């Protein structure tokens, strides 16, 4: 088996970013095409990960292992299972869209913009494939740097505040995680391998502490209520590409952390604290859903909708049954497509009107019919319409929740109403009705590039909604294995 694939997925975008930086922003055409080339190459090298994946196998695949820091037995240890592999593909695919989205609208320092996204894409792939605690941490933290720069340089008026808030909030969590990782290393007798940690026995008191350290780190990233407040700021201020990567990929890192670290390493603490996690998730689903309802800024609305949807993901993880966990994973991928598409749609309108306020729009369908069609479709998907990917994940999680407890499932199901309410109400005010003002009347419909991006995303959303089997198939074995781990006590 070819085992260099994961390294390629990580380093092709990062090394490809170097010539992009080097060319500099003066030669715009060259920068764009080279970035696109690198992004496509980065996606192509991840395809064999899917085609060569053995869905029946439980363990890690495409494993690479070389010593990195011999002093502390830190390994350059990569590998994917059915849980992490889809995210690498998703991330690499989204990177192409992000490059295309920044094609014309980024006028200042375009080379740095494109380069930062390519670097981040590589780092994200590193996070999803790292099987060594320190390697994971290093990728996890390093990915803050490009995001900080992206929000701060190309963001909106309040970008500096948002960039600092984003960076410090996330750093707060990850620093505590570092202490937990070192503690685990010493407890495991000198191993940073996550797989070794999965097998390790830990007492209840340290389990709780480790769970809390991981929780702070991942809850900020997800983000879970009540540490979600950085997200609306970051989303609103970030440029379109930044919002897309944040929503589609960065939020998944926190949720991924729960399945890779919290659940299998400290299963007893996870069970013990599951009621709290479920409560926090339901608050995110219901309360944040109401918060989304009253937003006047489209990006903020979608940001709150993201938090609410991610509440579903954490809910799915902590009800500990197969359908719930799988549903959560499907929801993560689906949300990756849909939130990316939603932010791109808002970006399309923002590029033309330089406003994100719902009140500034109205009757967009009259001037941008093609766009309106796609936007409405994505909005439907966002509110969980059957036959779109948004439905599959939510349905599975609700099913899992009802299995565990009827009222829990009932509370979760309110999202179907709330989600539809805030999304469709926004659509009604923005897309339909009479033309709101002269600026809307002057709008031009989307061009070929924008249509390509949104169209491809629509195909993904539809495909996943109609035939989710290829996505769930690769997960089965890994999810079963995970649940087996979680069920066994480590005390």
Partner 1 sequence: MLNNFVMPDLYPAAPEIFLLLMSFLVLFVDLFFGATHRWMAAMLTAVTLLGCAALTLVTSDGQTTLTFSNMFVDDLLSDFLKLMTYLAVLMMLVYSRQYLADRGLDKGEFYVLVLYATLGMMVMISAASLLTMYLGLELMSLSLYGLVAIDRDSTRGTEAAMKYFVLGALASGLLLYGMSMIYGATGSLELGGIAQAMYQGHSEKTVLVFGLVFLVAGIAFKLGLVPFHMWIPDVYHGAPTAVTMFVGSAPKLAAFAMALRLLVYGMFGLAGDWQKMLLVMAVLSIGLGNLAAIAQTNIKRMLAYSAISHMGYMVLGLMSGVVGGQVDAFTAVNAYSSALYYSVAYVLMTLGAFGTVLLLSRAGYEAENLEDFKGLNKRSPWFAAMMLIFMFSMAGIPFFIGFFAKFAVLLAAIKAGYTTVAVIAVMFSLIGAFYYLRVVKLMYFDAPADSAPITAGLDLRVLLSLNGLAVAGFGLFPDALMLVCTTTLMRSL
Task: Give Cβ neighbours of residue 419 (< 8 Å, ≥ 6 apart).
Answer: 289, 305, 308, 309, 382, 383, 384
Applying CB under 8 A, does 17 fall inside the site for partner 1? no
Cβ-in-10-Å burial (0-12, 13-18, 19+) of 188 comes to middle
* Cis preceding linkage at 226, omega within 30: yes
By CB under 8 A, which span of 55-63, 174-182, 281-289, 313-321 interacts with partner 1?
A: 174-182
CB of 340 to partner 1, least distance (A): 25
How many whole angstroms separate alpha carbon 323 and alpha carbon 476? 10
Q: For 443, left (φ over 0), alpha (ψ -120 to 50), or beta?
A: beta
- Cβ closest to partner 1, residue 167 vs residue 375: 167
- Cβ closest to partner 1, residue 1 vs residue 186: 186
Applying CB under 8 A, does 164 fall inside the site for partner 1? yes
How many whole angstroms separate alpha carbon 42 and alpha carbon 472? 24
Among 18, 44, 172, 466, binds partner 1 (CB under 8 A): 172
Structure tokens at 161: 């505040």
Applying CB under 8 A, does 378 fall inside the site for partner 1? no
CB of 440 to partner 1, least distance (A): 32
CB of 15 to partner 1, least distance (A): 12
Q: How many CA atoms lie within 13 A of 182 on its CB side?
A: 5
- Cβ closest to partner 1, residue 72 vs residue 410: 72
- Cβ closest to partner 1, residue 173 vs residue 465: 173
Applying CB under 8 A, does 19 fall inside the site for partner 1? no
Q: Do residues 273 and 208 touch, judged by C-beta distance below 8 A? A: yes
Applying CB under 8 A, does 148 fall inside the site for partner 1? yes
By CB under 8 A, which span of 143-151, 224-232, 262-270, 300-308 interacts with partner 1?
A: 143-151
Residue with tokens 């400290």: 266
How many whole angstroms separate alpha carbon 142 and alpha carbon 242? 16
CB of 231 to partner 1, least distance (A): 19
- What's phi and psi for 144, nearest 5 deg? -70, -30
Among 112, 121, 240, 481, binds partner 1 (CB under 8 A): 112
Task: Give Cβ neighbours of residue 405 (< 8 Å, ≥ 6 apart).
Answer: none
- What's phi and psi for 166, nearest 5 deg? -60, -50
Query: How many residues would you count in the chain?
Result: 491
CB of 20 to partner 1, least distance (A): 12
- Cβ closest to partner 1, residue 25 vs residue 61: 25
The CA distances from residue 197 to 47, 190, 200, 236, 339, in Å, are: 30, 11, 5, 38, 34
CB of 30 to partner 1, least distance (A): 16
Applying CB under 8 A, does 432 fall inside the site for partner 1? no
- Cβ closest to partner 1, residue 21 vs residue 290: 21
Among 18, 37, 47, 69, binds partner 1 (CB under 8 A): 69
How many whole angstroms separate alpha carbon 390 and alpha carbon 353? 29
- Cβ closest to partner 1, residue 189 vs residue 434: 189
Strand residues in 1-98 grouped as ranges (E): 61-69, 74-80
Among 18, 37, 47, 168, binds partner 1 (CB under 8 A): 168
Among 88, 134, 430, 475, binds partner 1 (CB under 8 A): 134
Among 5, 6, 88, 149, binds partner 1 (CB under 8 A): 149
Applying CB under 8 A, does 11 fall inside the site for partner 1? no
CB of 41 to partner 1, least distance (A): 22
Q: Report helix angle 406-430 to 298-317, nearest 10.
A: 160
Applying CB under 8 A, does 281 fall inside the site for partner 1? no
- The CA-to-CA distance between both ends of the chain, in Å, stands at 37
Applying CB under 8 A, does 78 fall inside the site for partner 1? no
Cβ-in-10-Å burial (0-12, 13-18, 19+) of 399 comes to middle
CB of 163 to partner 1, least distance (A): 7
By CB under 8 A, which span of 93-101, 133-141, 294-302, 402-410 interacts with partner 1?
A: 133-141
Residue with tokens 């309040």: 158
Binding site for partner 1 (CB under 8 A): 21, 24, 67-72, 109, 112, 134, 137-139, 141-142, 144-145, 148-149, 152-153, 159-160, 163-164, 167-168, 171-172, 175-176, 178-179, 182-183, 185-186
């Amino acid at each position: 088996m070819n085992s260099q694939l994961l390294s390629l997925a990580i380093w092709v975008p990062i090394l490809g970013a170097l010539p992009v930086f080097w060319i500099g922003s003066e030669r715009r055409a060259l920068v764009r095409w080279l970035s696109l080339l690198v992004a496509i190459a980065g996606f192509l090298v991840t395809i064999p990960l899917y085609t060569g994946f053995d869905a029946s196998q439980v363990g890690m695949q495409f494993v690479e292992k070389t010593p990195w820091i011999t002093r502390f037995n830190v390994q350059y240890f990569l590998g994917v299972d059915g849980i992490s592999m889809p995210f690498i593909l998703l991330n690499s695919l989204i990177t192409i869209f992000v490059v295309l989205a920044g094609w014309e609208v980024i006028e200042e320092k375009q080379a740095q913009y494109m380069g930062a996204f390519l670097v981040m894409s590589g780092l994200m792939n590193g996070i999803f494939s790292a099987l060594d605690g320190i390697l994971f941490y290093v990728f996890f933290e390093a990915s803050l740097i490009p995001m900080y720069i992206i929000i701060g340089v190309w963001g909106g008026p309040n970008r500096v505040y948002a960039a600092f808030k984003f960076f410090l909030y996330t750093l707060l969590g990850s620093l505590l995680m570092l202490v937990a990782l070192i503690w685990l290393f010493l407890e495991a007798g000198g191993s940073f391998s996550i797989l070794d940690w999965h097998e390790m026995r830990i007492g209840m008191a340290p389990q709780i502490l480790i769970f809390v350290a991981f929780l702070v780190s991942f809850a900020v990233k997800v983000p879970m209520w009540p540490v979600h407040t950085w997200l609306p700021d970051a989303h609103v201020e970030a440029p379109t590409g930044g919002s897309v990567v944040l929503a589609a990929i960065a939020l998944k890192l926190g949720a991924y952390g729960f399945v890779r670290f919290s659940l299998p390493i400290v299963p007893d603490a996870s069970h013990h604290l599951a009621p709290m996690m479920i409560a926090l998730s339901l608050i995110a689903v219901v309360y944040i859903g109401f918060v989304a309802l009253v937003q006047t800024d489209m990006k903020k609305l979608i940001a709150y909708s993201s938090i609410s949807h991610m509440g579903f993901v954490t809910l799915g993880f902590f009800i500990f049954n197969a359908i719930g966990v799988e549903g959560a994973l499907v929801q993560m991928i689906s949300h990756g497509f849909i939130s990316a598409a939603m932010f791109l749609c808002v970006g399309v309108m923002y590029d033309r009107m330089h406003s994100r306020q719902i009140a500034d729009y109205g009757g967009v369908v009259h001037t941008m019919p093609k766009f309106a069609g796609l936007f409405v479709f994505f909005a439907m998907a966002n509110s969980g319409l059957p036959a779109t990917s948004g439905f599959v994940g939510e349905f599975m999680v609700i099913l899992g929740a009802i299995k565990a407890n009827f009222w829990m499932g009932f509370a979760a199901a309110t999202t179907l109403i709330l989600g539809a309410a805030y999304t469709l109400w926004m659509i009604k005010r923005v897309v339909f009705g009479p033309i709101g003002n002269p600026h809307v009347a002057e709008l031009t419909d989307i061009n070929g590039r924008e249509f390509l991006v949104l169209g491809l995303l629509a195909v993904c959303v539809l495909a996943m909604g109609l035939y989710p089997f290829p996505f769930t198939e690769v997960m089965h074995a890994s999810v079963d294995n995970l649940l087996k781990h979680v069920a066994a006590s480590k005390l």
